[in-house]
Chains A and B, each alone.
Chain A
Amino acid sequence: MCAFALFFLLFSVGRAQAPDLYEASRLKLDTILGVTNTLILLTSSLFMVLAVEAARRQERTAIIRNLALAILIGLGFAVTKVIEYSAKGDAGISLTTNEFFTYYFVFTGIHFLHFIIGIGVLLLTLNKARRDPLDARFQTWIESAGCYWHMVDLLWIMLFPMLYLLRAA
């Protein structure tokens, strides 16, 4: 989280020094995909919350269903990210194109790595929900998994406007 605060600072300083470059680069991003990614993560987070609530009621079927939905919907984020990265590649845009895109690929790439870890944690939680007793230990596990998943969500919530929505003054 502190690393991302530092990223925001680096980006803000870079943007202040080269506003025209940042604005021209920002216009090459697809805002619709940015909004879509945000909605995907928010919806996946909702099903994670519903899974935790079901765990509190010890309803195994509801836990499994909601976790599976959180994972399936969450995977949509990976699909849109691949589409977005591919489109940038096709347009000849890479990590070394300019400072904005270096930050863009590094920040979203590190966030994506956290996302992949999150999907792994959710898959592990789904496996536990199928086999383990729904006791206090499982409750702590699923709440921890949910906490991590929501952190992936909230980092994207701030990355999205910073990269896609801040127009030049």
Chain B
Amino acid sequence: MRLSAVSVWAILVTATLASGFLATGGISAKSVATAVILIAALKIGLVIRHFMELKWVHKPFGPALSIWLVVCATILIGGYWAA
């Protein structure tokens, strides 16, 4: 599905504000940590898919970015839960 740039921006802004509220709320720290990292990963996924123009670049760049995203989210969530 191709969303308009303004719609994607509105989702990104809402997700950012939601992360801020979640972090200051009374929900358990581990749930919040997992949620805010997953929200960040979702936001990055939206930026890669809808904002970045990857059609002209070397083909593996898009999948490499997606792998980078999964690795980073796993490091942060895994590191948090392992502490």
Contacts and interface: CB of A to CB of B under 8 A. Distances in A.
B51 A45 contact: yes
A144 B58 CA distance: 12
Interface stretch (A36-44, A92-100, A103-111, A123-131): A36-44
A12 B72 contact: no
Given A8-B75, A162-B76, A166-B33, A31 B51 contact: no
The interface size bin for chain A is 35 or more
Contact of B24 (A12, A31, A50): A31
B20 A8 contact: no
Interface in B39-83: 39-41, 43-44, 47-48, 50-57, 65, 68, 71-72, 75-76, 78-80, 82-83
A165 B13 contact: no
Q: Is the interface of B mostly helix, strand, loop or mixed?
A: helix
Contacts of B76: 8, 12, 158, 161-162, 166
Given A12-B78, A52-B53, A169-B29, A39 B16 contact: yes
B1 interface: no
B40 A157 contact: yes
Contacts of B41: 158
A50 B5 contact: yes
The interface size bin for chain B is 35 or more
A45 B29 contact: no
Interface of A: 1-2, 4-5, 8-9, 11-13, 15-16, 19, 31, 34-35, 38-39, 42-43, 45-46, 48-50, 52-53, 140, 143-144, 146-147, 150-151, 153-154, 157-158, 160-162, 164-169
